[in-house]
Amino acid sequence: MENNTVDQFMDIRAATVAKMLEEKEKGMKVVGIYCTFCPQELVLAAGAIPVGLCGTREEPIPAAEEVLPRNLCPLIKSSYGFAATDTCPFFNFSNLIVGETTCDGKKKMFEIMQELKPVHVMQLPHRHKAGASLDLWVDEIRSLRTKIEAELQVEIKDEDIWKAINLVNQEKKALKEISDLNRNSPPPMSGLELLTVVWSGGFSFDKKELVEMLAELKKTLESREVDPQFAKKPRILLTGCPVGLGSEKVVRLVDELGATVVAMENCTGYKTLELMADTTKNDPIVALAEKYLNIPCSCMSPNPYRMDLLGRMIDDFNAEAVIDLTWQACHTYNIESHEVEKVVKDKGLPFLHLESDYSSSDEESLKVRIEAMLEMIEK
Ligand code: SF4
Ligand code: SF4
């Protein structure tokens, strides 16, 4: 029997809810975040717990549609629906919500969410390298620091930001090392296991504990006896919009059809795992601004680093085909699929763009399309 199996990660979310219930009584503060662009190091430096609030389930969407347009991305509707129906314990626990002006749907949703909780929206520039973008983002991170200090009644010291930077850098390194194990053949983790680890880790109450859990899991996976037959399964790279437990249908269908998702380039996967804040900088806010401005999200225009990352991941993980999963009405990822297809075709691999939502109504047609793509893989 394996110790430190992936199953332990399944329990993180429930354990954090229980712990937060206890700690809230003692005055612990929680900051809810919706996007990878939020510099969670500032939250940790304030002695608070950052928690991801992105909705990955279909259930609250009808309630959201009473306020938001129906033809909006399911991630936004699910996120708002959980908040509006007060069915997400983490939203309930949050003292402050941090949003960013990433895509149009999200930024306008945050305006409405302010009716429910204090929401601070960071103005995100949309060009990676421009000097003016960096100046603006530095200012925005300084404003966030001031907002957290005021809202949580704490002082955020530079030395605490550096400590938090080190901790988050360690977390990213540990997650990358786990994800990189799937470069092997056969891969030690199925797609669903990979998703469980990286998604559940985001709910951890204590990042130090999470880093230790990841180190233990790495040892377990390195010595795992994987059926050699698994090496015959077609290796799929998943890219596109974020996916979590509840919206994992494509990862599951790939598995059911005899292939396996060996890596995910999206925000729940590898997208930010190579990005570390530079600890040699004089100012921790500048170090954070440079790190976060490099995130290859489709809201950035242009977004060359995503194509570069995809190309490298295809090679590193020996991908045999790429699925680009985009949520309905996500204009930026849907349009960027054109560029993604070129990167994949240049590598001579089959490419499949799937546009879907959180319902199960299209599972049969998704299955047929994935099956057709798998038939194109040369063995
Ligand atoms: S895909 Fe872009 S907008 Fe969505 S969570 Fe990631 S960085 Fe944020
Ligand atoms: S999936 Fe697309 S539309 Fe939905 S929140 Fe993310 S970037 Fe916005």
pLDDT in tens, 236-276: 999 999 999 999 999 999 999 999 999 999 999 999 999 99
Residue 15's pLDDT band, with cuts at 50, 70 and 90, is very high
Query: pLDDT tens digit string along 268-318?
Result: 999 999 999 999 999 999 999 999 999 999 999 999 999 999 999 999 999
Residue nearest to atom 4 of ligand 2 (CA): 73
Rounded to the nearest angstrom, the distance between the alpha carbon of 103 and the centre of ligand 2 is 6
Q: Which domains does the chain have, with CATH numbers?
A: 7-155 (3.40.50.11890), 160-375 (3.40.50.11900)
**Cα 116 to averaged position of ligand 1 atoms, centre (Å):** 22
pLDDT exceeds cutoff 60 at 3: no
- Ligand 1 atom with the smallest distance to the CA of 295 is 7
| Cβ burial, residue 218 (10 Å; 0-12/13-18/19+) | middle
Full-model pTM: 0.96
With bands split at pLDDT 50, 70 and 90, how would you rate the model's confidence at 129? confident
User: Does ligand 1 have an atom closer than 6 angstroms to the CB of 297?
Assistant: yes
Is the CB of 52 within 6 Å of ligand 1? no
Q: What burial letters (b/e) apply to 266-286, b meaning 16+ CB within 10 Å?
A: bbbbbbbbebbbeeebeebbb
Q: How high is the pLDDT of residue 192?
A: 96
Mean pLDDT over all residues of the chain? 96
- 3-class DSSP state of 269: coil
Q: What is the pLDDT of residue 1?
A: 45
Q: Over the stretch 316-368, which tens digit does the pLDDT of each residue have? A: 999 999 999 999 999 999 999 999 999 999 999 999 999 999 999 999 999 99
Alpha-carbon distance values, 240 to 88, 360, 366 (Å): 25, 19, 16
How much is the pLDDT for 6? 87
Q: Examine the pLDDT at 130 and tell me if it is beyond 90.
A: no
The residue among 123, 168, 167 whose CA lies nearest residue 143 is 123
In the block, tokens 């749907």 appear at 105
Q: Judge contact between 310 and 240, C-beta under 8 A.
A: no
Nearest to 24 by CA among 257, 156, 205, 177: 205
pLDDT digits (tens, 9 = 90+) for 69-104: 999 999 999 999 999 999 999 999 999 999 999 999
Q: Give yes or no for residue 379 having a pLDDT over 70.
A: no
| Structure confidence at residue 2 as a pLDDT band (50, 70, 90) | low
